[in-house]
Amino acid sequence: MNFDFTPFILSFKLAFIVTLFLLIIGIPYAWYLSVTKSKIKPFLEALTALPIVLPPSVLGFYLLVFLAPDSFIGKIANDLFNIKLVFSFPGLVVASMIYSFPFMIQPIQSGFESINKNIIEASYLGGKGKFITLFKVILPNIKPSLLTAIIITFAHTVGEFGVVLMVGGSIPGKTEVASVAIYDYVENLEYHKAHIYSAILLVISFLVLFSVYYINYKQKRKYDFY
């Protein structure tokens, strides 16, 4: 039996990029949500959670419609950046980002909401601007929430499938990620292969997750020691 590792590489690349981008977008947005006193806050919050309410393939269908080259967004992406948003890796990234958006936002927001406001004030009074305060004081102090957000987003993007299939079209080497490949094997009654691929996916994911948790655990123990 010969294995093709490309789908796994694609999967983890996708998950990594999506997590990274969402982290970059998610932090300021979650921060805004956590501090705003505006009346539209609950509205935005509810809206943020909506992408997960739709079945992935259906969301994928709508994304397909909205990202297609003849759509408004598709045109802009194409004309301005020369990026095709469907049946391409960038398309997968955009689609997965939309689908996984709530998984990143919500834990971070809840972290921001539980942080002790005094230490933020102390940082401002130390003459530090919002940016430094965010990176040196706020984020390190909501580490459990941040970890949750990153891990849920990452794992979920690896397992993501409906949206990816619809928007990406499972083109081998380009948009055929591991989850799609495994699905195909199950469909093809090639259970043996499906088992092996699933096992590989699980093992790699487990190792990634375990490393993250283990580092976190070690770090905490270090502090506990004092």
Partner 1 sequence: MIFIDIKKPLKGVKENMLLEAKLNLKKGSFLALFGASGSGKTTLLRIIAGLEKADGKIIVDNEKWLDKKKFLPPQRREIGFMFQDFALFPNMNIMENLLYINNDKNLAEKLLGLSGLNALKNRIPHSLSGGQKQRVALCRALMRKPKLLLLDEPFSALDTKMRENLQNEIMMFHNEFDLTTIMVSHSPEEIYKLADIMVELKNGKIIKKGSPKELLLKTSGSEKFSLRGKIIDIIKADVINIALVSIGSHIVEVVISKEEAKKLKKGLSVVLSTKAFHPNIKVLNEDTFS
Partner 2 sequence: SAANLTYVMPRIIKKFNVIYPDIKINLILSSSGKLTAQILRGAPYDVFLSANMKYPSKLYKSGFCKTKPKVYAKGSISIFSLKRKFTLKNLINANSIAVSKPMTTPYGKAAIESFKNAKIYNKIKNRLVFAQTVPAVISYVKNYADAGIVSTSMVYSKNIKNLGKFYYTKIDSKLYSPINQGAILLSDKKAAKKFYNFLFSKTAKKILKKYGYNVNYE
Smallest separation, CB 76 to partner 2 (Å): 16
- For position 25 contacting a copy of itself by CB under 8 A, the verdict is no
Q: Which is nearer to partner 1, 70 or 127 (CB)?
A: 127
Could you tell me how far CA 211 lies from the centroid of its own chain? 18
Stretch that binds partner 2, among 17-25, 36-44, 58-66, 208-216 (CB under 8 A): 58-66
Separation CA 124–CA 151 (nearest Å): 30
**Cβ neighbours for 117, distance < 8 A, ≥ 6 positions apart:** none
- For position 64 contacting partner 2 by CB under 8 A, the verdict is yes
Rg over alpha carbons for the chain, rounded to the nearest Å, is 20
| Total site size for a copy of itself, rule CB under 8 A | 62
SS3 117: helix
136: which DSSP letter? I
184 binds, among a copy of itself, partner 1, partner 2, none (CB under 5 to 8 A by kind): partner 2
* Maximum pairwise Cα distance, the chain: 64
- For position 113 contacting a copy of itself by CB under 8 A, the verdict is yes
Binding site for partner 2 (CB under 8 A): 57, 61, 64-65, 68-70, 86-87, 165-166, 169-172, 176, 184, 186-192
